[in-house]
Homo-oligomer: A and B are copies of this chain.
Amino acid sequence: MEHLPLTAAHAGGNPTLIPVGNLTIGRDFLVIAGPCAIESEEQMMQTAAAVKAAGANMLRGGVEKPRTSPYAFRGLGRQGLAYLSAAGRAVGLPVVTEVLDPRDMDWIIQSADVLQIGARNMQNFPLLVEAGRTHKPVILKRGLSSTLAEWLASAEYIMNAGNPQVMLCERGIRTFETYTRNTMDIGAIAALKQLTHLPVLADPSHGTGRAELVAPMALSAIWAGCDGMEIEVHPAPQEALSDPGQQLTPAQFQGLMGKVRQVLVWRKALENGSVYGYRTNLHNL
């Protein structure tokens, strides 16, 4: 693998901790929940209350949606961000949203606590550099057909531009399989815990594209060593304007969270997590 001095794990080093409000990512297990796209104020308020009650510690929602076709719903933009921000404040959760365009960085960082760079932009280098010039934590999703080396090099871009607060999020790669939307590379999570000191997240919603597979894959990702996860939740998934098949109902999410909490206790009990490579801290949720 290429020389990537800022992202590479090194012997004796500590994992990166990223403070967001009361959270310390890397020590506290991160659970981001919320809809694929922000569709209305009511949708966000309902979702925020539900995911907070279930135990999520960050709220998500898409303001600008990267859609294959120009005729698909592309998000509510600034109005959407206002809904997200208000909903987060109402329930006391920090918020994360995706940024698509370096020109939108200024207004997005005024309301978002965490930035997300999506799979299609993993090698959008001006966007990486711009995110690197902010002081906001950045979730960098893996590109649809990117290797680990390319992904880490993209994290290096952000860090090299001045921002050390980077998280990597495995969201599935494109393969020949069509039953699942993507193929979630759980092994990448385990490998990254050895290769880098950055926190590693899992996104089983995009990783599978099927609501009924989200729970087993969330639990699997925990046992591969992830530091958190991102789960799409919608008050009425079948009516969602994007990704209807993969979003959980609030009740399904609540059920999942019970399992996640239990499994995290067990993971911690398993010889202090010693199978997971680069790790000195264990998670609380």
Which residues of A are interface residues toward B (Cβ below 8 A)? 1-4, 66-71, 74, 100-103, 120-121, 123-126, 144-150, 153-154, 156-157, 160-161, 172-180, 183-188, 190-191, 193-195, 207-208, 210, 212-213, 215-217, 219-225, 259, 262-263, 266, 270-271, 275-277
Q: Report the separation of the CA atoms of residues A157 and B70 in the bound assembly, to the nearest whole angstrom.
A: 5
Nearest-Cβ distance from residue A265 to partner chain B, whole angstroms: 9
- Whether A126 pairs with B148 at a CB distance below 8 angstroms is no
A216: contacting residue among B126, B145, B224, CB under 8 A: B224
Q: Report the separation of the CA atoms of residues A4 and B68 in the bound assembly, to the nearest whole angstrom.
A: 11
What chain B residues lie within 8 Å of A210 (beta carbons)? 191
- Whether B183 pairs with A212 at a CB distance below 8 angstroms is no
What chain B residues lie within 8 Å of A123 (beta carbons)? 66, 68, 120
Q: Report the separation of the CA atoms of residues A266 and B125 in the bound assembly, to the nearest whole angstrom.
A: 43
Q: Report the separation of the CA atoms of residues A126 and B64 in the bound assembly, to the nearest whole angstrom.
A: 10
Chain B CB within 10 Å — which of A2, A125, A277 has the most?
A125
- Whether B176 pairs with A174 at a CB distance below 8 angstroms is yes
Nearest-Cβ distance from residue A274 to partner chain B, whole angstroms: 9
Residue of B nearest to A67 (CB): B125
What chain B residues lie within 8 Å of A124 (beta carbons)? 120-121, 124
What chain B residues lie within 8 Å of A172 (beta carbons)? 187
- Whether A259 pairs with B271 at a CB distance below 8 angstroms is yes
What chain B residues lie within 8 Å of A71 (beta carbons)? 3, 160
What chain B residues lie within 8 Å of A217 (beta carbons)? 186-187, 190, 224
A277: contacting residue among B103, B178, B212, CB under 8 A: B212
Q: Report the separation of the CA atoms of residues A147 and B217 in the bound assembly, to the nearest whole angstrom.
A: 18
A223: contacting residue among B1, B121, B222, CB under 8 A: B222
Q: Report the separation of the CA atoms of residues A66 and B276 in the bound assembly, to the nearest whole angstrom.
A: 32
What chain B residues lie within 8 Å of A101 (beta carbons)? 102, 126
What chain B residues lie within 8 Å of A220 (beta carbons)? 186, 190, 220-221, 223-224
- Whether A177 pairs with B188 at a CB distance below 8 angstroms is yes
Closest 8 CB pairs of A and B: A101-B126, A145-B145, A190-B216, A219-B223, A220-B220, A186-B186, A120-B123, A215-B275
Q: Report the separation of the CA atoms of residues A154 and B221 in the bound assembly, to the nearest whole angstrom.
A: 29
- Whether B194 pairs with A147 at a CB distance below 8 angstroms is no
Given A4-B69, A153-B68, A179-B148 contact (CB < 8 Å): yes
A66: contacting residue among B125, B173, B179, CB under 8 A: B125
